[in-house]
Amino acid sequence: MIPVKGYAAQSPETDLAPWDFERREVGPHDVQFDIQYCGVCHSDLHQIKNDWFPGIFPMVPGHEIVGKVVAVGDHVKKFKVGDLAGTGCLVDSCRVCENCKQDLEQYCLNGASQTYNGLEQDHKTPTYGGYSNSIVVHEDFVLHVSEKLDLAAVAPLLCAGITTYSPLRHWKVGKGHKLAVLGLGGLGHMGVKFGVAFGAEVTVLSTSPKKEEDAKKLGAHKFVVTKDPEQVAAVAGYFDFILDTVSAEHDYNMYLGMLKTDGTHICVGAPATPSAISAFSLIPGRKSLVGSMIGGIAETQEMLDFCAEHDIVSDIELIDIKDITPSYERMEKGDVRYRFVIDMATL
Which residues are at the interface with ligand NAP (CB under 6 A)? 41-43, 46, 159-160, 163, 183-188, 206-208, 211, 245-248, 250, 268-270, 292-294, 331, 334, 336
Residues 6+ apart with CB under 8 A from 296: 102, 103, 104, 105, 106, 166
* Residue placing its CB nearer to Zn ion in the complex, 71 or 97: 97
* Residue placing its CB nearer to ligand NAP in the complex, 160 or 344: 160
* Residue placing its CB nearer to ligand NAP in the complex, 64 or 240: 64
Answer with the entry of Zn ion, ligand NAP, none that 93 interacts with (C-beta below 5 to 8 A by kind).
Answer: Zn ion
User: Inter-axis angle of helices 160-170 and 186-197, to 10 degrees?
Assistant: 40
Residues of this chain, 107-166, that bind Zn ion according to CB under 5 A: 108, 110, 159
In the Cβ-directed half-sphere of 70, how many Cα atoms lie within 13 Å? 14
What residue ranges in the chain does DSSP mark as E strands? Answer: 2-8, 17-23, 30-40, 65-72, 84-87, 90-92, 113-114, 134-138, 143-144, 178-182, 201-206, 222-225, 239-244, 259-267, 288-291, 316-319, 339-343
For the CB of residue 201, give the shortest distance to Zn ion in the complex, in Å.
27
Residues 6+ apart with CB under 8 A from 40: 62, 64, 186, 319, 324, 327, 328, 331, 339, 340, 341, 342
C-alpha–C-alpha distance, residues 318 and 338, integer Å: 11
Q: How wide is the angle at C-alpha 338 spanned by C-alphas 332 and 340, nearest 5°?
A: 70
Q: Does 94 bind Zn ion (CB under 5 A)?
A: yes
C-alpha–C-alpha distance, residues 188 and 231, integer Å: 19
> Which residue, among 2, 4, 25, has the nearest Cα to 72 in the 3D structure?
25
Answer with the entry of Zn ion, ligand NAP, none that 327 interacts with (C-beta below 5 to 8 A by kind).
Answer: none
C-alpha–C-alpha distance, residues 27 and 74, integer Å: 8
Answer with the entry of ligand NAP, Zn ion, none that 108 interacts with (C-beta below 5 to 8 A by kind).
Answer: Zn ion
* Residue placing its CB nearer to ligand NAP in the complex, 2 or 277: 277
Q: Does 342 bind Zn ion (CB under 5 A)?
A: no
For the CB of residue 3, give the shortest distance to ligand NAP in the complex, in Å.
30
For the CB of residue 101, give the shortest distance to ligand NAP in the complex, in Å.
21
For the CB of residue 33, give the shortest distance to Zn ion in the complex, in Å.
19
Q: Which of 32, 36, 43, 87 binds Zn ion (CB under 5 A)?
A: 43
Q: Does 268 bind Zn ion (CB under 5 A)?
A: no
Instruction: Name the residue with the smallest CB distance to ligand NAP.
Output: 185
For the CB of residue 295, give the shortest distance to Zn ion in the complex, in Å.
11
For the CB of residue 314, give the shortest distance to ligand NAP in the complex, in Å.
11
* Residue placing its CB nearer to Zn ion in the complex, 109 or 254: 109
Binding site for Zn ion (CB under 5 A): 41, 43, 93-94, 97, 100, 108, 110, 159
